[in-house]
Structure 1
């Protein structure tokens, strides 16, 4: 879900925006910090929401991705998970981790060592990577399971209320607490967080 849409949904919960209205640029900038704080807190409760990043690598053997430029990677980025569906020279393929021994002659394999991801193959590789949203922009997309939406909108609305000189209503606070409790009891997390298989389930893989 688009970050701007998430913020605007929270502002509508507060009554700051009416149906059909859009948030101003200054409101979005301020709200982004609150959203990042909410998501960081959720991660401590194992309620994970990830940012989507489209990545392109021109493979001529191997290429690495690392958050540390000192590793001399092909791309400086911090990722936690990757989609196992990708394209190679425009043709759909499935990414295969090096620990997977059930797939023969994969077009592209990858390995993970700490924060360094190494991709092996030949051609233009395009895939989606997922990272914890430490830094957000209004146009970013978040992987937000449907069960998370209400809890996130309400929680962000509570966080944003003081910014607009408002006190959260008792109904808003009650609904927010109930939504979080329901989410935690349901123990619903994205499949790629729980997946311990060699290749991804439902299009995602993990780095644990």
Structure 2
């Protein structure tokens, strides 16, 4: 689901927008700022929502990705999870974490050093990464399980009411409380793909299940 759909849905639940009405550019920008703050707050409670981002790395040895300029990254991005597969020069390739305990050496490996990710290989590597939503644009895609979606829109609706001079209705607040409690009790975490096995070994996970 993209960011503008989430913000627009929240505005409609808050009564700020009528059915079929579109938000102005400024109102949408204000709503996106509120969404960004809300996601940061949720992250402190381990309610993580990731942004799905297409990354392209021109590998020629070691390529560094980090959100911190002090790491001297080749690309500024806050990677949280990456898939097991990507493309290298338009051909499918396995992206494997190098834990230095295997003699196998695939075409693309990576290391995680805190927030710094180092990718090794040669060629144009493309993959979808799950990154932290520190910056959001209207058409950015967020990975949201169904149980997160309702709670997120209702909570954002309550949050933005004062910004638009609207008092949140008691029914809205009740629905938000119920949805948020259901979310916290669900033990559902956002979709991610885990790939932290030794070189040459890979298992892919989705919502805690492997396939």
Q: What TM-score, normalized to structure 1? A: 0.88
Shift of residue 6 of structure 1? 0.2
2:161 counterpart of 1:136: no
Shift of residue 170 of structure 1? 1.0
2:90 matched to which residue of 1?
A: 90
Where structure 1 has 5 or more consecutive residues not aligned to the other structure, the ranges are: none
- Residues 61, 196 of structure 1: alpha-carbon distance in 2 compared, 3 angstrom cutoff: closer
1:201 matched to which residue of 2?
A: 204
Shift of residue 58 of structure 1? 1.2
Shift of residue 28 of structure 1? 0.8
Distance 1:157 1:91 in 2: 44
Q: Secondary structure of the residue that 1:80 maps to in structure 2?
A: strand
1:6 matched to which residue of 2?
A: 6
- Residues 16, 51 of structure 1: alpha-carbon distance in 2 compared, 3 angstrom cutoff: same
- Please say if residues 84 and 203 of structure 1, whose CA atoms lie closer than 8 Å, have aligned partners that are also in contact: no
- Please say if residues 97 and 109 of structure 2, whose CA atoms lie closer than 8 Å, have aligned partners that are also in contact: yes
- Please say if residues 50 and 190 of structure 2, whose CA atoms lie closer than 8 Å, have aligned partners that are also in contact: no
Distance 1:48 1:200 in 2: 22
Where structure 2 has 5 or more consecutive residues not aligned to the other structure, the ranges are: none
Q: What TM-score, normalized to structure 2? A: 0.87
Shift of residue 101 of structure 1? 6.0
CA deviation profile, 1:72-119 (whole Å, cap 9, x unmatched): 322122222222221111112221111386894422111111221111
Shift of residue 126 of structure 1? 0.5
1:120 matched to which residue of 2?
A: 120
1:156 matched to which residue of 2?
A: 156
Distance 1:132 1:42 in 2: 12
2:44 counterpart of 1:55: no
Once the two structures are superposed, the pairs formed by residues 61-76 of structure 1 within 5 Å of their partners are: 61-76=61-76
Distance 1:196 1:133 in 2: 21
Q: Secondary structure of the residue that 2:128 maps to in structure 1?
A: strand
- Please say if residues 65 and 73 of structure 1, whose CA atoms lie closer than 8 Å, have aligned partners that are also in contact: yes
